[in-house]
Structure 1
């Protein structure tokens, strides 16, 4: 199991991909599979064997290509057919370089497969199976070498739940990006008369611009803004 070098698995705060991988890894181990997790940093919270390519998590450099490429280069040197039957890659650039591996690779596509990202995915070796996370994602770029669709899942025990309908506040936990729809969420909660908490990742330049230009003008007394929250603060 290969994850990007940005965050630990599971993450202390933002990290949808890392949260999903943590649940997947533990479920595979529980079913009797031997799983090795390749990531960065010195620790993790899964039941898999852990191999780190870098002592420091690269969160501050998220969005840059070189940290991820260096991470994948280390991973490829450590993966061989004598030790592994299958590689499941969750990185952004991984599908592009996976054709060099001597071990079969499937790669889950966690982003919107169009634009520049679609160009990268379109150059994926046809021996690498791309896994979609929704049918809508596949429809956005049907020409890619999709191997199947596996919807995102996570253990329900990790999600706090109320037993009765609540009156808010409503929590939005994502990164500040137009495709995550914080502006739509603000309008919906305001129309429903519910207090709203925006707990968003905001460390990349594009996220900061979107926050300042689009989201902040919409804020009011009924919206609480929490930037780069950990899990405890978000809940």
Structure 2
């Protein structure tokens, strides 16, 4: 198939460090190319891909306090894609609601994967205007605030099978926290869980500008207990050793997480996950097999005492069965085929 992938413009594809959506777009694009499809990636000029790269802006730029500078690149991107839309069998957007108005008025099939939360008050005002736009959720739980939209399917994320793998380690004497320092990611609960379990917590996490004050006022004092080691942000090269050496990944989130890539990153390394029952967690963690799904700090502490009984080789096998980018790409190809067939039927009937 001739497929266009349209990525966000705030990070490169793949991102240099933190950036979940851009990582998923990269893995999907590379897998589709490896399968023999003709893929074009609309992204920033500092992106790296096996597909044809169409640079929309010279390089990635994080959010800036300027409406025009944030939004003009997306207006440019939409027009660049529109001018080439006839070259593709399907257009796959990863930029929220931006394409809805323009691409609902043209003939090339398109769909949009929503990577964020849908429970905020502004969401119905825009999404309800487009009840026929094909959408893809990244978990079934993500849909719950807006179940009436035109959901083409749910495609759970996947990652390259050999990107992160289990590593030989000595004694596993710590729990891991991986991702971003923010209230919704549950760093405070993770510290309490590890302390109550009597086990060290190693924190490998990014501190974004938006969370810098929260880190200074709330998290930094908690790091002085002596039970926590703050490592800072790490990349894929460091993750296998970090996760393989942990008893478990603690994921005590306090928000409706649409997916949570760190859970499958841990599983790729054979590391079980102890996670709060929020958002996508029950769809990703198989209780008693790849980790434990809990509701409270006390339940998480109890799970900490049981986690070493889990078979880490079985955790890795389950990752290979459920969470690869090959499986993700196959799922998306099924949706692309359906959209293309419907468009062909409509064209024939017209």
| Residue of structure 2 aligned with 1:77, choices 54, 76, 79 | 79
Q: In structure 1, what is the Cα distance between the partners aligned to 2:51 and 2:64?
A: 24
- Structure 2 stretches of 5 or more lacking a match? 243-350
Residues 1:106 and 2:111 aligned together: yes
Q: CA RMSD in A?
A: 2.8
Q: In structure 2, what is the Cα distance between the partners aligned to 1:169 and 1:65?
A: 44
User: Which digits, 9 at most, give the CA deviation of each residue in 1:32-72, with x for residues without a partner?
Assistant: 2111111113331x31111111112112x268764453222
Q: In structure 1, what is the Cα distance between the partners aligned to 2:171 and 2:132?
A: 48
In the alignment, what sits opposite 1:90? Answer: 94
Q: In structure 2, what is the Cα distance between the partners aligned to 1:62 and 1:230?
A: 24
Residues 1:24 and 2:25 aligned together: no
Q: In structure 2, what is the Cα distance between the partners aligned to 1:116 and 1:166?
A: 48
Residues 1:192 and 2:197 aligned together: yes
Q: How does 1:153-232 map to 2 (within 5 A)?
A: 153-162=158-167, 167-205=172-210, 207-219=211-223, 220-232=225-237
Tell me if structure 2 keeps the 8 A contact 1:28–1:35: yes
1:132 deviates by: 1.0
Q: In structure 2, what is the Cα distance between the partners aligned to 1:26 and 1:132?
A: 21
- Greater shift, 100-109 or 61-70, is seen at 61-70
Distance 1:187 1:30, change over 3 A: same
Q: How does 1:118-133 map to 2 (within 5 A)?
A: 118-119=123-124, 122-123=127-128, 125-133=130-138
1:91 aligned counterpart, secondary structure: coil
In the alignment, what sits opposite 2:54? Answer: 51
In the alignment, what sits opposite 1:4? Answer: 8
2:190 aligned counterpart, secondary structure: helix
Q: In structure 2, what is the Cα distance between the partners aligned to 1:49 and 1:5?
A: 17
Q: In structure 1, what is the Cα distance between the partners aligned to 2:121 and 2:173?
A: 38
Distance 1:139 1:123, change over 3 A: closer
Tell me if structure 2 keeps the 8 A contact 1:6–1:62: no
Distance 1:181 1:66, change over 3 A: farther
1:86 deviates by: 1.6
1:147 deviates by: 2.0
| Residue of structure 2 aligned with 1:140, choices 137, 141, 145 | 145
1:174 deviates by: 2.1
Tell me if structure 2 keeps the 8 A contact 1:63–1:204: no
For these two proteins, the number of residue pairs brought into alignment is 230
TM-score, normalised to structure 1, is 0.82
Q: In structure 1, what is the Cα distance between the partners aligned to 2:15 and 2:220?
A: 26
Distance 1:222 1:4, change over 3 A: same
1:140 aligned counterpart, secondary structure: coil
Tell me if structure 2 keeps the 8 A contact 1:96–1:123: no
- Greater shift, 220-229 or 149-158, is seen at 220-229
Distance 1:218 1:232, change over 3 A: same
In the alignment, what sits opposite 2:316? Answer: none
In the alignment, what sits opposite 2:18? Answer: 14
2:86 aligned counterpart, secondary structure: coil
